[in-house]
Structure 1
Amino acid sequence: MALNLSGFYQMVSQENMDAYLHALDINFALRKIVCLLHPSKEITHDPATGHMKIRTLTTFRNFNMDFTLGQAFSEDLGPVDGRVCETTVDWQGDKLVCVQKGEKENRGWTHWMEGDLLHLEMRVEGVVAKQVFKKVQ
């Protein structure tokens, strides 16, 4: 049975974000701004229907994902890097795995829980960045 990730999370750490953003062709100034941000995540998840919403909230820009697990959808990543990907998000064991097909190879992310910590690993073209969020409600 899949986990229910519903909740509000605040970032406690991140690593290798500049290299990840560079691999996405994000310009130097924007990379520096993004690396200074401390995003929060709000996740709503209905395990019965597989519907999820993931909101990443910052003082600079917010990013929303609204999807059904296992169903491919066209994802507009304009707020991130201006690209559109065909995205599929589904469970692989106890990890929520996203695959984004588009201009950049091997792009996607994985979420998993360890206690009250939500881990996020973001991948693109062999570069991996990690963020950890603490569940606060």
Structure 2
Amino acid sequence: MPMNYRGTWDMVDNENLEGYMVALGIDFATRKIAGMLKPQKIIEQDGDSFNIKTLTAFRNYSCSFKIGEEFEEVTKGLDNRKCQTTVNWDNDKLVCVQKGEKKSRGWTHWIDGDNLYLELKCEDQTCKQTYKRSA
């Protein structure tokens, strides 16, 4: 049985978002706005099928996928690029690899207690985010 990621998660910590966004090539004004936001994640899960929504006052992003199946992802509202994306299980972690213009791009999600962790990687930059399960 896979780990249960379902729920609503509120951001409590965001480390090196600026460096990550610079690596993605996101413009200065958008980086400054994004740095002030506290996203909320809503994760819907049915076995190995996921829909992850990231909601903010500025922009929202939604991504649906099935574990192990490559799909074309358009990162609309983020850096607006097309990637060939695959998400797999690594024990209880969700590990995403995004192939496209940017090298070493992807993310890893895992849960420890009431915290959801997210590491976002692009080139030589890593952003570490922590979310707390919403009451």
Query: What is the TM-score of this pair, normalised by structure 1?
Result: 0.96
User: Between the two proteins, what is the percent identity of the paired residues?
Assistant: 48
- Shift of the alpha carbon at 1:78? 2.2
Deviations 1:71-115 (CA, angstroms, capped at 9, x unpaired): 000001121111000000111111100100000000000000110
Aligned to 1:33: 33
Could you report, residue by residue, the CA deviation over 1:1-27 in whole angstroms, capped at 9, with x for unpaired residues? 320100000000110000000000001
**Which whole-Å CA distance do the structure 2 matches of 1:79 and 1:13 have between them?**
21
CA deviation map 1:24-79 (0-9, x unaligned) = 000111101001000000001111xx110000000000000011111000001121
Is the CA contact (8 Å cut-off) linking 2:14 and 2:130 kept in structure 1? Answer: yes
Show the 5 A alignment for 1:42-81: 42-47=42-47, 50-81=48-79
Runs of 4+ in 1 over 6 A off after TM superposition: none
Match of 2:87 among 86, 89, 95: 89
Which amino acid is the alignment partner of residue 10 of structure 1? D
How many residues were matched structurally?
135
**Amino acid corresponding to residue 124 of structure 1 in structure 2:** C
What are the Cα deviations for residues 107-129 of structure 1, in whole angstroms up to 9, with x where unaligned?
A: 00000011000000000002000
What secondary structure is seen at the aligned counterpart in 2 of 1:55?
A: strand
Aligned-residue CA RMSD (Å): 0.8
Distance in 2 between residues matched to 1:46 and 1:90, nearest whole Å: 15
Aligned to 1:124: 122
Answering whether residue 11 of structure 2 is matched by residue 2 of structure 1, we say no
**How far, CA to CA, are the matches of 1:78 and 1:55 in structure 2?**
13
TM-score (norm 2): 0.98
Structure 1: runs of 5+ lacking an equivalent: none
8 Å Cα contact 1:4-1:46 kept in structure 2: no
Contact 2:10 2:131 in 1 (8 A): yes
